[in-house]
Structure formats: C-alpha cells, structure tokens
C-alpha cells in the first residue's frame, strides 16, 4: 500500500495545521517548523510532508512532544512497520519501537548502544528493506551524538563511466552480521544472536544500483555496514570496487550532519541515503526511539 493510500484514514477531516518547510543550502535535508504530531495530520498536510520527504530525503520535525503511540501512528501512515531482530531492545508494550541508547542499567544495556557506527541503510539485509526510519530524541548528551546522512543519488551521479560499466546490472550481498565480529569501537557492541535471530537475518541479494520506486531516480545501494561482496566478481576485485563506491558515497558536499535538539523527530529515506552515528562520550546518556517503515524489494 502506498503512502498516499495509507494517508486516507480517519485523519481525512482533521483540521489543517500551519507549518513551514525550510530547506537548507546544503546537499540534503529540510526542517519542519510548527507541525504538531500529537494532533491529527490531515491528508493535505500529510501530502506536503510526504512530498518534502521525497524531495529532501531527510526531514527534521522540531519540538515533537509526542508519545510512542503518536510516533507509531504517524509512521504507519507511510507503510507497514518492521520489528527489529534484537527483541531485547524493543520498547515494552510497543514492539514497533527500537530503543537506541548507550545507557546501562543494572549491568544491562537498555537499548542498542552501537547503532549506526558504520555507514548503512537500515535493514538493507532484509528481502524488503526499509522505506524510511523515524528517530525521536528522548535523552541527548551535552556533546556529540550527531547523525550524518549521505545522498546516494548524488553518489551514483559521481561514479565515473569505467566504474559504472562494472557495476551496472550487478547485485551485491547484504548481511546483518557483516561487521559483527569487529571491535573498531569501544563501549557497547551488539549481543550474540540466538539461532532463531540468525534465521531472521539470512544474507540477501540486492541491486548495486537501485531505482527509487516513487521518484524513479537511481541511487547506489551498497554500504560498508551491511554489504559483503558483489556477485560475479573475484573477491579482490569486489573488495576494490566496493571501496571505490564507499568513497564516492560519502563525499563531503553530499553529507548533512544533524546536530540533535530536544524533541527532534528525524525522518529519513533509506532508499536515497546511508547514515552514520558519530558517537558520543560513553558516560553521557543518549536515548532515542526508532520506528522503521517497510519498503519494497529493490529493483
């Protein structure tokens, strides 16, 4: 079901809200000022938000003093929600929400503490990867904690012809456990997966270059976080090609760095972007709530 058809609900008769969509001079992103997601969003307003999301890839909705129920309900208007494999980090009573946090209580992490330490597109390791993700700030550190977003449409435009000839029409393998064994970062790391969890994240194959299903634009669809190799290429060549694509994916002029403010809700398009968590000092508390919207099979 499309976002537009999902919008046709009991919100049809909701009162229109007055809000401004401000674009930035940089590569990607826009912020929405004056929107209140604790109130119903009517079809016309939803259409503006949906269009801005397609045009700018990252939307920052400021000062959203909303409950988990509000976040889930708004997310569902874009599509079916996906439940993360790490069930121990799902919000009690709200399995649609993954807790992203470095906080440790009683010797246990309350959420996924290392989320996003490699560039990635959420759930690219699934047969139906994510359309988009919404991250709502609950507790923010006094320093650090930024999130970076890189435009994969512009990354594809930057690929030179010789490299295009190698990757066009090819597929790449994606695996949730691609970087699991690495100890690149101190602090929290992902817990050992049970056999049941491993069965939910078997390796999948997607096009190296995908077509956005709503805009028709081409985008690179590989990332250092989850892509393991390109099918049909010798291992050394696959590694070399991927390294070149990764470098082109994170050109400085195509990156937006989000510096979180209290109650921000950030909604990004995983079909258009990859993202990275910049990290913060381990002793500073950081907690956010994430909903993830299921997309279509990449083509």
**Under 8 Å between Cβ of 231 and 172:** yes
122 an active-site residue?
yes
Catalytic residue among 120, 136, 153, 206: 120
Cβ neighbors of 187 (< 8 A, separation 6 or more) are 102, 113, 114, 282
Contact 142, 286 (CB under 8 A): no
- Phi/psi of residue 46, nearest 5 degrees: -60, -40
Task: Say if CB 120 and CB 223 are below 8 A apart.
Answer: yes
**Closest to 52 (Cα-Cα) out of 69, 66, 35:** 35
Which are the contacts of 65, defined by CB distance < 8 A and separation ≥ 6? Answer: 38, 263
- Catalytically annotated residue among 45, 114, 122, 151: 122
Residue tagged active-site, from 174, 206, 229, 275 = 275
Q: Mark whether 120 is an active-site residue.
A: yes
**What's the CA gap between 106 and 277, in Å, rounded?**
25
> Which bin fits 33, alpha (ψ -120 to 50), beta or left (φ > 0)?
beta
Catalytic residue numbers read 120, 122, 275, 290
């Amino acid at each position: 079901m499309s976002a537009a058809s999902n919008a046709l609900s009991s919100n049809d008769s909701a009162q229109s809200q007055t809000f401004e969509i401000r674009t930035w001079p940089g590569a990607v992103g826009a912020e929405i000022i004056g929107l209140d997601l604790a109130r119903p969003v009517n079809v016309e307003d939803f259409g503006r938000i949906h269009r801005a999301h397609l045009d700018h890839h990252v939307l920052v909705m400021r000062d959203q003093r909303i409950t988990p129920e509000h976040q889930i309900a708004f997310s569902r208007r874009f599509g079916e929600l996906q439940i993360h494999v790490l069930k121990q980090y799902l919000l009690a009573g709200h399995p649609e929400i993954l807790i992203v946090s470095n906080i440790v209580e009683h010797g246990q992490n309350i959420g996924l503490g290392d989320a996003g330490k490699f560039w990635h597109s959420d759930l690219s390791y699934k047969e139906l990867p994510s359309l988009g993700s919404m991250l709502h700030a609950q507790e923010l550190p006094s320093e650090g904690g930024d999130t970076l977003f890189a435009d994969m449409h512009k990354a594809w435009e930057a690929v030179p012809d010789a490299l295009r000839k190698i990757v066009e029409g090819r597929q790449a393998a994606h695996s949730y456990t691609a970087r699991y064994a690495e100890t690149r970062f101190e602090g929290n790391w992902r817990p050992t997966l049970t056999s049941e969890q491993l069965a939910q994240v078997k390796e999948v194959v997607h096009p190296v270059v995908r077509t956005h299903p709503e805009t028709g634009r081409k985008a690179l669809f590989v990332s250092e976080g989850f892509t393991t190799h390109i099918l049909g290429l010798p291992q050394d060549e696959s590694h070399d090609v991927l390294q070149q694509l990764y470098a082109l994916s994170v050109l400085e002029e195509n990156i937006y760095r989000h510096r979180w403010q209290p109650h921000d809700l950030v909604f990004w398009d995983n079909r258009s972007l990859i993202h990275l968590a910049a990290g913060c000092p381990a002793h500073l508390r950081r907690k956010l709530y994430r909903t993830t919207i299921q997309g279509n099979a990449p083509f």
